[in-house]
Amino acid sequence: MKKSLLFLFFILLSFSSSVVTAQTEFNVDGVIVPRKIEFKGNTLQLNGFGTRSKMFMEVYVQALYLTMVSQNPDDIMESNTDMAIRIQITSSMVSSGKLTKNLHNGFEKSSGDAIDALRPRIEQFKAMLSDKIVEKDVFNLIYNHLDSSVWVYKNDVLKGIVPGFDFKKALFGIWLSNKPVDDDLKNELLGKTE
């Protein structure tokens, strides 16, 4: 009896530890999406993730990280807390020119009348993405509430910092506004998958 209880305990312990391990990251078509990312000593939690497709081809896997998970896109965009967008390129068809053009179109949609005030910073941001882009490149776009700016990383290398809460709102609005670049991806980032 004691041996069978001990065996059962061992099985349950093995199962629970494998579940905990499985939840530290997610695999999306070969892309590892971490459950958490660290920024300036703060931990950001995965809110949701999904893929961006164009012309029946997946071009990148994207994830949204927040200090507190939320399914309300307006609250996220209006929040002055640390948050991040992580983008991993999954197609060799993605170039710097194509990515910046698509992001520019997203800014146009998400910022509306505020686009003129944002234009110089959008150009600054696009310049940070002008290096050659290859499959598996990872971009982390992290909003730092302490200096109200977006820190742009490519493969863990800081490319630059773009100031302004209004810029952050427009940037996150590319995927979360009422006119997102992809409705399905918006729902995935919000954790509203079916």
pLDDT in tens, 77-100: 999 999 999 999 998 888 898 889
pLDDT averaged over every residue in the chain:
86
Which of 3.30.70.100, 1.20.1050.10, 3.50.70.10, 3.40.47.10 is the CATH number of 26-189? 3.50.70.10
Q: How far is residue 191 CA from its own chain's centroid? A: 12
Residue type, 11: I
Q: Choose between 76 and 102: higher pLDDT.
A: 76
| Cα–Cα distance measured from residue 68 to residue 161, given in angstroms and rounded to the nearest whole number | 23
Average pLDDT over residues 9-17: 40
Domain boundaries, given as residue ranges, for the chain: 26-189
pTM of the model: 0.84
pLDDT in tens, 14-70: 443 334 344 577 777 778 899 999 999 999 999 999 987 765 567 889 999 999 999
